Each structure stands twice: as C-alpha cells, then as structure tokens.
Amino acid sequence: MSGSYDRVMEERKKLVDQIIENMRQGYVLPKPDWDSEAFLDMRIRNPVSGARYQGANLLRLYLRGLKQGYTDGRWVTYKQAQSEGWQVRKGEKGVRCEKYIFTKQVEEQNPETGETEKKTIRLNRPMVNTFVVFNAAQVDGMPEPEPMKILEPDEILEMAECFQASSLCPIRENNEGSAYYSVRQDEIILPDRNAFLDSQSFLATQLHEMVHSTGHPDRLNRSILNRFGTPEYALEELRAELGSFFIQSDMNLQFDTQHFNSHTQYLESWINALENDPNELFRAIADAQKACDFLEERYHQQRLVQEKALSNNQNILEKSEAGQELLSRQQEAAVRMAVKHEEKEPGSGKAHLERWIEKDILKRLELKLPLHYEEMDYMRESYEQLASSLLPSLEEEELMLLETQEQAFVPVR
C-alpha cells in the first residue's frame, strides 16, 4: 500500500509542478492549438465503464491531451482495451491516475446461522490506489467516436437559465458591469447577458459565482468571507474557476480557457500558495468537485421538474386538441340536427340552429372563453347547404347522444 501512496504523491507533485509552470507563463490551463470546431469529441470519459473522470484525474487527462494534441477524449486501461478486443500500441505511455477505495469486503460469521458470510464495510480511512489509462489515439481497433454536438448559443442560454432556476440564492442581472457573489446578502449579481462576448462567457461567469455560493454555511460551509487581496480570497477564486471548469466539462461544453486564464491578478498568490504547500491544489480540487456535484445535482433535479412541466403542458395541449375535435363534431351534429328538424317541420331548422348557437355563446361567456364568430358563420353556411339536399336520417342512438350533449355541453376552446 505504501507503494501506491508513493506513486500518488509522485503524480501529485508532477501535476502541481505543471500547474505552477503554467501560472509562471501567465495562464492556468493552455488553450488548444487547433480549431475548436474541428475535433470530434473532447469529453474526457471512459467508453467502457461509462465513467466521467473527475477532479485531479480530469485535470491530468485534459493537460496530457492538450500536450499530445489528442482530439479524442476517451481514455481506457490496458485491460479494458483487451476486454473490448482493442490493442494499446507497443511503447505507448499512459497517464497514471489516482483512486480512493472507501469500502472493503470482509468475511464474518453469522451468529444465527454459524455460516461465514461476506460483508461490505466502510473504511475509517480510504485506501489509495492508482491506475494507468491510455488515450484512444494510442489504441488500435477502437471505433470512431460519435461527433460531439456543438451547442447553439440559445441552448447554452437555456442551460444558464436552468442553472439560475436551480440556484438556492437569487441571481440578478443588472447594469453594474461586474459579477460577484455577495456573502452577506447571499445573492449573485451578474452584468446583463447581452454585455458578454457570447453565451459561453455568460454561462462560465455565472457558474464561477454559483460555485462561490456553495460555500454558504447552509450549503458546503467553506470559509468564503475573506478580504479582497488576501491569500484566502485568491484560493477561493481558484476553487470557483476549477468548479466552473469541472461543470463545463460534465455539461459537454467546450471549456473556455480564456475565461479561466482571465484571473491573472491571482496568479502570483496561487503560485506562492502552491509552492508553500502543494496540497493546497488538491484541497482546492476537492472543494471544487464538491461544489460541482452540489450544483449539478440541483441542475438535473430542475431539469426533471421542467421536463415534467413540459410533459404536463403537452398533455393539456393534446387534451385541448382532442376537445377541439369533439367541439367540431358537436357543431357538425348540431347542424345535422337542425336539418332533421327542418325535414320534420319546415321553417324550424334554422331557428333550432340559432338557439344552439345562442346557448353556445352564453356558455362561453360564462366560462370566459373566446367567441369564434367565424365558426358560427360556417355552421350557418353548412346548414344552408345541407338543408337544400337530401340527407340520410341520423341513427336513433346518435340523436339521443346529441340531446345529452345539448343538456350538458361545455365548450373547451
């Protein structure tokens, strides 16, 4: 186990050194040197298990992918590749990732049966282990990835609005020209969305402030009431930027490195903090991942609420359309009934139709429904046409049904 721990510490040191070097060059995450519209799919995930890499592992794979120029976000272990009939090419070097094991299986004797049974228990301290993954570009036989759907600006804004609706604190847009989370007021202030370069920048800024809001005592309870310019303030900014990065990755968005790297005023403070204590990076990563999970859970719950509401609205619409179809049948039956009256007693058909229309108008007024005079005129025209020709008699049961409808008729338009 000590060997696994040492390997994890070694890989962590490499990641910290790389981040510090990036910061010395004026950025945190490098920008891809290819056209973002050209690559197929950079969603960093495992196509065999279906898992999405998170936290420090996500950062490692993102940075290695950019360094090597990979345009595929799929990463697998050697054994996983073999299980799928794929082959990691000879001489390829993978990326060592870390994982933590929180449970283990033990054998215990059941006091009632006397039999030995396996039981899963939670560890007091998680065990650390490592695994190595290879990019799809290093593996032969992997199928081509499905093209990633590039979200349209309106779709990104819809996502931003759903995040807003899921927020536990108010989010207001105004003309102040600055974005911030007010700890004391527990609210997020954003510039008007039209002031941003694009919808992606608007969403990235909103997510940054929403990560800050998760530090509220009633949520994840981080130390966020820090004075501007202090190291603590700067480290909270790092958490917010990492959290925004993690969420954008999970949401299948092309990460806006320019937005991340715009916080250059904190670089020197971040460098000093990481040089003094490299574990600061991993504390920030852990907090950012917790914030990411917190916000995404609420986002997906809000999505379900919206989808359910949309489904209900669709059902109402379908019922309304069915009602409209029923109303048309009633109108048609009323016209035919008027013609039947005309056949039995000349001169009575038109009067019968007008009485039906009058009842319909009164019922609509009572229910505060719109009046459709064009339909009434069409009923009169239809009556005139039908009355001038011979029509087959209505079946007796249809007449009974119509009379019942006349007694209890409720328009649905």
| Mean confidence (pLDDT) of the chain | 82
Quick one: pLDDT at residue 74? 94
Answer whether residue 132 shows pLDDT above 60: yes
**pLDDT confidence of residue 15:** 95
In this prediction, residues 312-322 reach a mean pLDDT of 55
Confidence check: pLDDT of 410 > 60 = no
Q: Over 50: is that where the pLDDT of 264 sits?
A: yes
Percent pLDDT > 70 in the chain is: 83
Alpha-carbon span 43 to 244, nearest angstrom: 15
Q: Rounded CA gap, 45 and 87, in Å?
A: 18
The residue with greater pLDDT, 284 or 120, is: 284
- The predicted pLDDT at position 372 comes to 73
* SS3 call for 140: strand
Q: For position 315, what pLDDT does the model report? A: 61
- Region 286-312: what's the mean pLDDT? 89
Confidence of residue 389 (pLDDT cuts 50, 70, 90): low
pLDDT grade, residue 413 (50/70/90)? very low
Q: Nearest 5°: phi and psi at 111?
A: -65, -20
Select the more confidently predicted residue: 30 or 133.
133
The model's confidence at residue 395, banded by pLDDT at 50, 70 and 90, is: very low
pLDDT of 102 reads: 82
pLDDT tens, 90-112?
A: 999 999 999 988 888 888 888 88
Instruction: Find the mean pLDDT for residues 56-63.
Output: 93
The model carries a pTM of 0.71
pLDDT in tens, 333-359: 788 888 877 777 777 888 888 888 888
Residue 402 token pair: 């119509």
Rounded-to-10 torsion of CA 164, 170, 175, 181: -100
Residue of higher predicted confidence among 364 and 400: 364
Predicted confidence (pLDDT) at residue 182 exceeds the cutoff of 60: yes
Our measurement of the distance from residue 152's CA atom to the centroid of its chain's CA atoms, rounded to an integer in Å, reads 14
Model pLDDT, residue 391: 45
Query: Mind listing the pLDDT tens digit for each residue in 352-384?
Result: 888 888 888 887 777 667 777 777 888 888 778
Highest mean pLDDT range out of 217-231, 283-297, 327-341? 283-297
Rounded to whole angstroms, how far apart are CA atoms 342 and 358?
Answer: 18
Record the tokens describing residue 308, joined without a space.
């359910």
Counting Cβ atoms within 10 Å, is residue 397 exposed (0-12), middle (13-18) or buried (19+)? exposed
How does DSSP classify residue 122?
Answer: E
